[in-house]
Amino acid sequence: MPHLDSDLLRTFLAIVEAGSVTRGAERIHRSQSATSLQLKQLEVVVGEPLVSRHGRGVVPTPAGERLIPVARQVTGMLDAALAGFRTDELAGRLRIGISEDVAREALADVLAAFCRDHPRMELDVHCALGDGFGIALKRGQLDLAVYEMPEIGPGQERMRTDRLVWMASRKHDVAARDPLPVAVFDRSCWWRDVALSDLSAAGRAYRTVFTSENASGVRAAVASGMAVALLSEGDRDTDLIALKDIAPPRPSYLVLDKAPQSRGPAVEALSNAIRRTLNEKPKNAHS
């Protein structure tokens, strides 16, 4: 009887997370032909295509989307089991960047549990807007980071996909006001840039009436009827409605990113703990 091989699952994840067979092969240190062969072997076992061509890369098919969480769970459990046998070997210091709203999820508990399980490890956690994390990783100022991006870059691993949607209060006709009152983030970040670009492209006169350091503050301003704002679709509830006349929804990707020099069992053990937590959490957060 055919069975799912963990090695094939790792290859599949590498391809999907990298966005192409070539970059996936680089991540697992195999040739492109060997990587393609392993993907085909997995597709034979599953009985359906798992990726389809998209521009110069690939995207998961519906069958591939169903297999992704299974592959992550299986490989994560295997890696965690191996790390458990090597607990005493984990020692050193890791510098972590986490976007503020993601830190409000279970990640804080995960980091605390990681330190308890690995008492010889020291974690320096930097919680902030995520726009500076990419540069900090390249400069070697951070070892790994979890934050949101408008596109998935080379070496970045997608944790979740969300959509950014313009929203307003259901109870207040704020969207009809002219100029349009808008809530935005008070520091430079790509969400703020996208919001202002959408308004300019739509030709809407607007005024900024509320600024906040985080998504919670922006959402509160929208729910109160003070302003409209670009928010994660995950923030939508009975109090908020989507606005369709400013701009269509756009994707936002929560990624796990590592510094080029970040390697070793400690990095992988913490990465696996983060993967398991975020894959179980449907709620997205701002970077």
d(CA 257, CA 138): 10
Q: Which of 109-113, 159-163, 179-183, 252-256 has the highest mean pLDDT?
A: 179-183
Classify the C-alpha dihedral 34-35-36-38 as positive or negative. Answer: positive
| Residues 45-92: tens digit of each pLDDT | 999 999 998 877 899 999 999 999 999 899 888 877 776 665 556 788
Residues 182, 48, single domain; the answer is no
Could you tell me if 155 and 266 lie in one domain?
A: yes
The residue among 29, 6, 14, 148 whose CA lies nearest residue 76 is 6
Domain that holds residue 28: 6-81
Which letter does DSSP use for residue 228 in this model? Answer: B
- pLDDT score, position 285: 38
> Residue 145, exposed/middle/buried by CB under 10 A (0-12, 13-18, 19+)?
buried
Tokens encoding 128: 């902030």
pLDDT band at 118 (very low <50, low <70, confident <90, very high): confident
CA distances to 4, 81, 84, 106, 265 from 93, rounded to whole Å, are 36, 22, 18, 21, 12
Check which CATH number belongs to the domain holding 12 and give it.
1.10.10.10
- Answer yes or no: is 273 within a domain: yes
Q: At what angle do helices 265-280 and 62-85 cross, to 10 degrees?
A: 130
Residues 42 and 122 placed together within one structural domain of the fold: no
Q: Is the peptide bond before 179 cis (omega within 30 degrees of 0)?
A: yes
- Residue 275, C-beta contacts closer than 8 angstroms, at least 6 positions apart: 72, 76, 157, 159, 256
How open is the CA angle 128-219-192, to the nearest 5 degrees? 55
Confidence of residue 161 (pLDDT cuts 50, 70, 90): confident
Other CB atoms within a 10 A radius of the CB of residue 245 amount to: 8
Domain presence at residue 214: yes
Does 268 lie in the same domain as 188? no
Domain total in the chain: 3
> What pLDDT was estimated at residue 277?
77
Cα–Cα distance, 157 to 93 (Å, whole number): 22
Give the pLDDT mean for 139-166: 91
- List the structure tokens of 219: 């959402």
